[in-house]
Amino acid sequence: MSKTWRPATQLVHDGSLRSQYGETSEAIYLTQGFVYESAEAAEARFKGETEGYIYARYGSPTNDMFEKRMCALEGAEEARATASGMAAVTAAILCQVKAGDHIVAARALFGSCRWVVETLAPKYGIECTLVDGRHLENWEKAIRPNTKVFFLESPTNPTLEVIDIAGVAKLANQIGAKVVVDNVFATPIFQKPLELGAHIVVYSATKHIDGQGRSLGGVILSDREWVNEHLQDYYRHTGPAMSPFTAWTLLKGLETLPLRVKQQTENASKIADFLADQPKVAKVIYPGRKDHPQADIVAKQMKGGSTLVAIELKGGKEAAFALQNALQIVKISNNLGDAKSLITHPATTTHKNLTDEARAELGISGGTVRLSAGIEDTDDLIEDFAQALAKVQA
Ligand SMILES: Cc1ncc(COP(=O)(O)O)c(C=O)c1O
């Protein structure tokens, strides 16, 4: 495959393994195992003397196509597809730490990601410090002699805080730690953490990569050395592998990723501008707006504003619920990245397990809603918000 192709071309063609039938659409190899020509061939495959598949938990052709296409897009040497985004996050972190090690993570994380580092890891003797990731000095202050991993998402879920990935990577390199970036909100179209110095990138492919609300999936991307040293055995023996059917769905999703993300971003940006002028809206946070609190870092590391908007209503929870209930096109759902516009109330859904104090720290109030812009007509979406806001008590 050509390294000179641009993303829109890579996402249609890269990684394709065409069978003897010459199919245009990628084939689904829905098989658990593989047959060897002889006992000697099986032995050689297991010894690693010959190339080829062994068992679908280790890898399989449709998954291979998805992984190769993701590598081309991300500029990574290796990828491993997982059954969900959380399987990717958990594997990427746990495969490289042991009891006695220390993780520094941004406190603004998706609820399950925060549970993995804050609650699960300490059960196995892995310490974790959560920091306000917006300020580099907090990362630096949290470093201990046993710090091995820095973990962050940027922009964050749901209040779209932005973290200086290159700055965190520089600190990590000084102590030989690895930076894991959950790049879901930025999408691979707008942000390339490996180019910014991060070592490992993870995605919930459930979101924009599928983008049509069908499959749960995830992917971990990094360099070959890290994958061979840390991830390979963990992945093969703990079994977070993706189903080949899911890999096929996601290959189809990748083909239209740039088109969808472009339209979603245009919608997000125009809705953000519309809402920012409405009297019932206290605040709009959107990385594509000049008034984003970290617009300077956005300009440095993102090529677009993202498909998500955080909106704070003056009327608190009552107004947030009234707005959601009055919307007709925009559906109430905690998912994101879908072709359909979706809205959620983080305080009572995705972030309900946090304490009131932790939610306040992250800027999640009763009046906060998170919009994931879909690919519908922009004017229809703005009209939907206008009619719904009219029904919200001031
Ligand atoms: C930022 C982020 N990371 C990880 C995940 C987990 O992904 P999945 O639901 O595919 O396990 C999500 C899901 O909402 C997310 O928003």
* Pairing relationship of beta strands 178-182 and 200-204 according to DSSP bridges: parallel
The string of pLDDT tens digits covering residues 226-274 is 999 999 999 999 999 999 999 999 999 999 999 999 999 999 999 999 9
Q: How far apart are CA 55 and CA 31, in angstroms?
A: 9
Q: Which of 109, 114, 206, 335 to mutate to test the pocket of ligand 1 (most atoms within 8 A of CB)?
A: 206
**Among 217, 257, 260, 276, residue whose Cα is nearest residue 376:** 260
Counting every residue written for the chain, the total comes to 394
3-class SS of residue 58? coil
Q: Mark the ranges of the chain whose per-residue pLDDT is less than 70.
A: 1-3
**Among 106, 158, 97, 159, residue whose Cα is nearest residue 131:** 106
Helices (H) and strands (E) in the chain, counts: 16, 12
- Per-residue pLDDT at 3: 60
* 231 residue type, one letter: L
Domains of the chain by range and CATH? 7-255 (3.40.640.10), 257-390 (3.90.1150.10)
pTM of the model: 0.97
Q: How far apart are CA 202 and CA 206, in angstroms?
A: 12
* Cα-to-centroid distance, 216 and ligand 1 (Å): 9
Share of the chain above pLDDT 90, in %: 97
Residue 187, H or E segment = helix 187-190
Q: How far apart are CA 121 and CA 115, in angstroms?
A: 9
As beta bridge partners, residue 368 has 312
Cβ 381 vs Cβ 341: under 8 Å: yes
Which residues are CB-neighbours of 40 under 8 A, at least 6 positions away? none
Instruction: Give nearest CA residue, ligand 1 atom 7.
Output: 85
State which ligand 1 atom lies nearest to the alpha carbon of 335: 14
**Among 278, 258, 282, 264, residue whose Cα is nearest residue 376:** 264
Question: Token pair 């390979």 is at which residue?
Answer: 232
Query: CB 27: neighbour CB atoms within 10 A?
Result: 16
Phi, psi of 214 (to 5 degrees): -105, -50
* Cα-to-centroid distance, 178 and ligand 1 (Å): 21
Instruction: Give nearest CA residue, ligand 1 atom 9.
Output: 85
State which ligand 1 atom lies nearest to the alpha carbon of 350: 14
Q: How far apart are CA 73 and CA 261, in angstroms?
A: 14
Q: How far apart are CA 206 and CA 110, in angstroms?
A: 14
Question: Token pair 């491993």 is at which residue?
Answer: 80
State which ligand 1 atom lies nearest to the alpha carbon of 334: 14
The string of pLDDT tens digits covering residues 24-62 is 999 999 999 999 999 999 999 999 999 999 999 999 999
Find the residues whose C-beta lies inside 6 A of ligand 1. 84-86, 89, 110, 112-113, 153, 157, 182, 184, 204, 206, 216, 218
- Per-residue pLDDT at 394: 74
